Amino acid sequence: MSARSYAKSNEALQRALKTIPLGSQTFSKSHQQFPQGAAPLFLDRGRGGRVWDIDGHEYVDLICGLLPVLLGYQDKDVDEAIIAQLGKGISFSLSTTLEFKLSEMLVDLIPCAEMVRYGKNGTDATSGAVRLARGFTGKDHIIALGYHGWQDWYIGATIKNLGIPKSTCALTTKVAYNDLDALRAEFKKFEGDVAAVIMEPMNTTDPQEGYLEAVKAMAHENGALLIFDEVITGFRFANGGAQVLFGVTPDLAAFGKAMGNGMPISALVGRADVMSLMDRIFYSSTFGGEALSLAASIAVIEKMQREPVVETLWKTGSWLAEETLKKIAEAGLAQNITLCGKAPWKILQFADHAHGSKEAIKTLFLKEMLAGGVLLAGSHNICYAHTKADMDHVLKAYTDALAVVKAALEKPGLDERLGIPPIHPVFSVR
């Protein structure tokens, strides 16, 4: 694969690091998560399903902003809605009617949604849900299954818990997905004190038959609430989220990412009797009703109802998953590279090879995909604007990248030969 120069990205990183710790606002977008010196680190613009970096290279984007870009960059309908609202104002001194226009749409769309409050990041919605569940049940302990954002109540249960009081860390514990025995044991261990089970309804693995129903029943038997974290699955697995796809309605749910096609907006939705307690807990912020994001979200949902957005994500994602799996098998790498999850968000998993660690395999693979013009971080984040030509481009890049990985694994010591440090995940939650 021809070497690309990332000179401007690398220079920009050095400049950014002088005034910005990590050089980025997001771990997953930072230099730590890409092949060192062999990756774009700063983007200039995007259109449809493609982006351009500051060195001028074009990519089919399979990161899509870490999943907010649902319709595509510069979506005409959403951008027009933002521009129209910009002509009126952004943040006002009182509420706007956009707030209930959107909440009415969410209530129509999402089974558990009887009432709605907004936030800016997914973390706002998950953290609000947890506080609400504690307020409603009068209990403290939280059982978590997945990734739920950067706040103390969740991060305290991970290895990235520096700066979080020990007493807070102890209040959240994690159990494995699809493991009802483990969940039962956790309820026993914290008997009478579990406020909620918060879970991604699905990430890498399909729920076993009856699993989500059983989690809900167990939560309720123990006087706890069930919270679905639909920050990724919402507006992606189905218009109303994974709760529509799987037919299980939680008490509360958190939405974010895709609902604004890139604008910062999230929503905490749920049962009216629980949500009503919002008047008594404290969930209040300056930008909760910021109007550009509300206008964008209304435009996103209207478009999703008018056009086959989710259907297209499934179709495009399925095609790409099937074709890439064939290429992986043809390269003899099926033991080392696999895809899991649902078609609109397929997650790549890497396994060690006798001649190289999974981290080294992933690093080399990403490096080659980037060189082939595909911006990829570890999952197929499909957007509505991805075209057949985009997908053909991705497949060609896969073919070339897999050939390089295959050749590299023919002799021992890939980690030493890689020439750059293998990428390690921030922490493993999926």
Ligand X SMILES: Cc1ncc(COP(=O)(O)O)c(C=O)c1O
Site residues for ligand X per CB under 6 A: 66, 121-123, 126, 146-149, 200, 229, 231-232, 256
Provide the CA 399 distance to its chain's centre, in angstroms.
Answer: 26
Q: Tell me how crowded residue 279 is: count the other CB atoms within 10 A of its CB.
A: 7
Q: Tell me how crowded residue 271 is: count the other CB atoms within 10 A of its CB.
A: 17
Q: Work out how close the CB of 153 gets to ligand X at its nearest, in angstroms, rounded to a whole number.
A: 12
Q: Tell me how crowded residue 26 is: count the other CB atoms within 10 A of its CB.
A: 11
Residue nearest to ligand X (CB): 122
**Closest CB to ligand X among 7 and 20?**
20
C-beta separation of 4 from 369 below 8 A = no
* DSSP labels, 365-384: HHHHHHHTTEE-SSEEE--T
**Closest CB to ligand X among 9 and 126?**
126
Q: Work out how close the CB of 256 gets to ligand X at its nearest, in angstroms, rounded to a whole number.
A: 5
Q: SS3 of 86, please?
A: helix
- Give the C-alpha separation, 267 to 265, whole Å: 7
**Closest CB to ligand X among 85 and 126?**
126
**Could you tell me which of 350, 343, 405, 396 has the C-alpha nearest to residue 373?**
396
**Closest CB to ligand X among 232 and 321?**
232
Q: Work out how close the CB of 169 gets to ligand X at its nearest, in angstroms, rounded to a whole number.
A: 18
Q: In Å, what is the CA distance from 312 to each residue of 42, 71, 84, 124, 369?
A: 29, 10, 28, 29, 24
**Could you tell me which of 211, 139, 138, 199 has the C-alpha nearest to residue 174?**
199
**Closest CB to ligand X among 203 and 222?**
203
Q: Work out how close the CB of 232 gets to ligand X at its nearest, in angstroms, rounded to a whole number.
A: 5
**Could you tell me which of 110, 64, 78, 65 has the C-alpha nearest to residue 303?**
78
**Closest CB to ligand X among 373 and 425?**
425
Q: Work out how close the CB of 119 gets to ligand X at its nearest, in angstroms, rounded to a whole number.
A: 8
Q: Work out how close the CB of 64 gets to ligand X at its nearest, in angstroms, rounded to a whole number.
A: 12
Q: SS3 of 288, please?
A: coil
Say if strands 225-229 and 252-255 run parallel, antiparallel, or are unpaired: parallel
**Closest CB to ligand X among 28 and 399?**
28
10 Å CB burial of residue 21 (0-12, 13-18, 19+) is: exposed
Q: Work out how close the CB of 147 gets to ligand X at its nearest, in angstroms, rounded to a whole number.
A: 5
**Closest CB to ligand X among 110 and 405?**
110
Q: Work out how close the CB of 349 gets to ligand X at its nearest, in angstroms, rounded to a whole number.
A: 17
